[in-house]
Chains A and B, each alone.
Chain A
């Protein structure tokens, strides 16, 4: 028995570590694919060099990042069978379907069209090349959709029945699984958060280059105006996206919380450290819980606010941890304490997710105002498209030197914030579901592979921790190197639009064409 407990603990650590790690790359991949596609679209439409440079630059960072996202994604698919075979047997009929659809529809899209995009600069007509990136972006979004539908089924199982002969879950409505409220809201929340993540990265790196250029300018050194132009555009795109996505995250988050109060009241009660049912329920700003006593020893609350967040009404009842635990124990057997997740993790995970994520939104909103369009500024403060913008508080008041420095620094410092918020979000939602693997149907402790020894689990965990650490160092160094290098502004957009048939007669000497180097090679 002790051994079984240990093995599911180790398997959970492996799942947690590999998933949080994988999810550092996923949101950046989703957002950067769409951002790169949008920039390339502007390039194709306007022919402007700054869009070309920006496309190439963000595309490169996208690829460095996507490589690890793809690589670590393979682990995710194998892991269910390797460590969670009992789970896989029980849910395969339902859970396997969205996974298989993800591979058949989304993965093939992403992987095939990214190959065309990377190597196709001199092979595909501009418009087709750009369309390939949109296909990649679509693939990343579809992929998120299917895997979140699968996850939502674990959070709130629908569209299934338990086969009396085998005791296993059996799918009876694919539309319920793909379109249930949990799936829809979770997908919107996750996607908007992903765009906020990408936006923060774009803002951070653009801020770095613009601030460096500004400093150079002040020292009287030569500034690369083409770099400034493409980074200035990128900055504005990033800021605008951060604001739109940030508002989206907040709205969908509020919706998701309301859905969760109905579907998994324990998760939300534990997010709020609300021990006992209250009418109306207060929102907890700060609490130190005493799990043994089932109450908070210290807390600071806003009366009625939780009722409003849960139900849109300041006076409704919100069920508490102790009450829900007692009723779950009565329903499923065991002690009430078996049904209480780790309150410290859920309470603080929830708060950090919101706090850190919204900081990026605030930075975006502030930045969008400070770098606003020319016509909202007095003429003497206006800057050209290839100049570093001034940070303008009002029509004719610029931030002082110190504040300007910190304004740009804020953009850089909040670059990774959403990544942290995303991680806390996932840790919260997965740990808040415990002790269940599939809510109400299968406990995590009975989901693990019975024939994989604890030693084996530990070895696998060690292998992944080691491998992932090394790769983290490699990837961060590469990202920093390429981010710092900035767009290669000496690169010119191709003079002639390539044709699918290859270079035709009369487009230069035949021998030259045959031996022309590839536009891109590994």
Chain B
């Protein structure tokens, strides 16, 4: 395996980490309007991810930074090409950070409602747009000889990409509902399971259509295997949820995310951004990568830091392992 191949895998790992972790906290954000019935329940939901959402989001920054360092052309083409969706994602992420931190800082109804709208929409929109973006990356977009994206905004809004967006939105909402059932206690926990069931079924339909379409368009034997795994894990998650096995349901919904992201990256390899203008213009692991020295340095850094990060982030989840319910929410300050 060459160093650029290693980095292709590492970037896949970073995106997987991001979608696994921020996937459920986007889902929890969406559930603040789907599941919570009152102020206390909304606060329960927000506080299930309270200590961890910030750390989850850094996986995105790391994926972005690693792409910049390891595949500068991939980073440049992707970020300048997908300008509008990324601008929207940025606006959402900014508002979302402020919403979590500021919502409870004033005991004022309008203030809190406004930030709650921000939490909902700024979780929902990125959850959708990341699917749109990745579907386009895998499918291929018009890229010219200078490696610049030429498709404009409309080039990104095709049926396949929109289906990809709906799939990630549904999957993350399902993942979030399963997480909520695992982290809460009381009435909301029971309802979270019910929500997980119907969002899981919606996810199953959308994901099957999207993954089969992906497989038909850009798949190979490996991606087919990942696709089968994704479907199996999704069914396992649904089954465990129905039987009230919340831990297993969360592990399975998480593995569904892992397998689905793996499938996308397996379909992509050895391209990193295929061109629909001319296959010769495609960005590949070979032609978009940084030099050997830079990749060697980065391999050392990532090789040491990634396990360490997993260790202390994992420890954080252990510290905040206790389920919470409405009785644990202190009075507003």
Contact = CB atoms under 8 A, between A and B. Distances in A.
A82 B89 CA distance: 13
Given A67-B98, A115-B316, A81 B68 contact: yes
Contact of A83 (B68, B80, B305): B80
A475 B94 CA distance: 13
A70 to B, nearest CB: 6
B69 A522 contact: no
Contacts of B97: 67-68, 70-71
> In which size bucket is the chain B interface?
35 or more
Contacts of B77: 85
Interface in B51-97: 51-55, 57-58, 60-62, 64-66, 68-73, 75-81, 83-84, 86-87, 90-91, 93-95, 97
A170 interface: yes
A105 B79 contact: no
Interface stretch (B207-215, B225-233, B257-265, B293-301): B293-301
A521 B104 CA distance: 8
A399 interface: no
Contacts of A104: 62, 65-66, 301-302, 305-306, 309
Interface stretch (B241-249, B270-278, B321-329): B321-329
A101 B64 CA distance: 11
Nearest to B153: A456
Given A104-B302, A118-B51, A170 B291 contact: yes
A77 B50 contact: no
Interface in A82-105: 82-83, 85-86, 88-97, 99-105
Given A82-B86, A92-B69, A474-B102, A171 B324 contact: no
Contacts of B329: 517-518, 521
Nearest to A117: B51
Contacts of B290: 92-93, 96, 170-171
Contacts of B95: 71, 467
Interface stretch (B144-152, B164-172, B173-181, B193-201): B144-152
A402 interface: no
B62 A172 contact: no
A108 B55 CA distance: 6
A392 to B, nearest CB: 38
Contacts of A90: 72
Contact of A120 (B86, B146, B319): B319
A463 interface: yes
Given A92-B75, A93-B290, A115 B93 contact: no
Interface in B133-147: 146-147
Interface in A445-479: 449-452, 456, 460, 463, 467, 471, 474-475, 478
A78 B65 contact: no
A522 B291 contact: no
A451 B87 contact: no
B330 interface: yes
A85 B79 contact: yes
B43 interface: yes
B79 A81 contact: yes
A518 B47 contact: yes
A515 B327 contact: yes
Contacts of A68: 97-98
B47 to A, nearest CB: 5
B61 A107 contact: yes
Contacts of B55: 108, 111-112, 115
A456 B83 contact: yes
Contacts of B64: 77-78, 81, 103
Contacts of A114: 54
Contacts of B61: 74, 77, 103, 107
Secondary structure of the A side of the interface?
Answer: helix
Interface string B7-29: 00000000000000000000000
Contacts of A99: 65, 68-69
Interface in A114-132: 114-116, 118-120, 123-124
A170 B294 contact: yes
Given A456-B83, A467-B91, A63 B101 contact: yes
B250 interface: no
B313 A112 contact: yes
B222 interface: no
Contacts of A170: 290-291, 293-294
B328 A516 contact: yes
Given A111-B55, A170-B293, A88 B76 contact: yes
Given A89-B76, A104-B305, A82 B87 contact: yes
Contacts of B79: 78, 80-82, 85, 88
B100 interface: yes
A74 B57 CA distance: 10
B188 to A, nearest CB: 15
Nearest to A460: B87
A101 B66 CA distance: 8
Nearest to B60: A74
Contacts of A91: 72
B8 to A, nearest CB: 15
B170 to A, nearest CB: 25
A338 B307 CA distance: 49
B49 to A, nearest CB: 9
A482 interface: yes
A450 B75 contact: no
B105 A64 contact: yes
Contacts of A478: 102, 105-106
A147 B196 CA distance: 42
Indicate the member of B52, B61, B104, B149 with the most A CB atoms within 10 Å. B61
Interface string B26-54: 00000000000000000100110011111
Contact of A521 (B47, B84, B309, B312): B47
A330 interface: no
Contacts of B51: 115-116, 118-120
B59 to A, nearest CB: 9
Contact of A74 (B80, B90, B316): B90
A92 B72 contact: yes
Interface of A: 63-64, 67-68, 70-72, 74-75, 77-78, 80-83, 85-86, 88-97, 99-105, 107-108, 111-116, 118-120, 123-124, 163, 168, 170-172, 174, 449-452, 456, 460, 463, 467, 471, 474-475, 478, 481-482, 500, 502, 515-522
27 contacts: A71-B93, A71-B94, A77-B68, A78-B79, A82-B83, A85-B80, A88-B76, A92-B69, A93-B72, A100-B302, A104-B65, A108-B305, A108-B309, A112-B309, A119-B50, A124-B319, A171-B290, A451-B148, A452-B80, A452-B83, A463-B87, A467-B94, A471-B94, A481-B106, A521-B104, A521-B328, A521-B330
Given A83-B80, A105-B301, 15 more contacts: A63-B101, A64-B102, A71-B93, A75-B94, A77-B61, A78-B79, A92-B76, A93-B294, A96-B290, A108-B313, A170-B290, A481-B106, A515-B328, A517-B327, A522-B101
Top 6 A-B pairs, shortest CB-CB distance: A92-B72, A81-B79, A96-B69, A85-B80, A67-B101, A96-B68
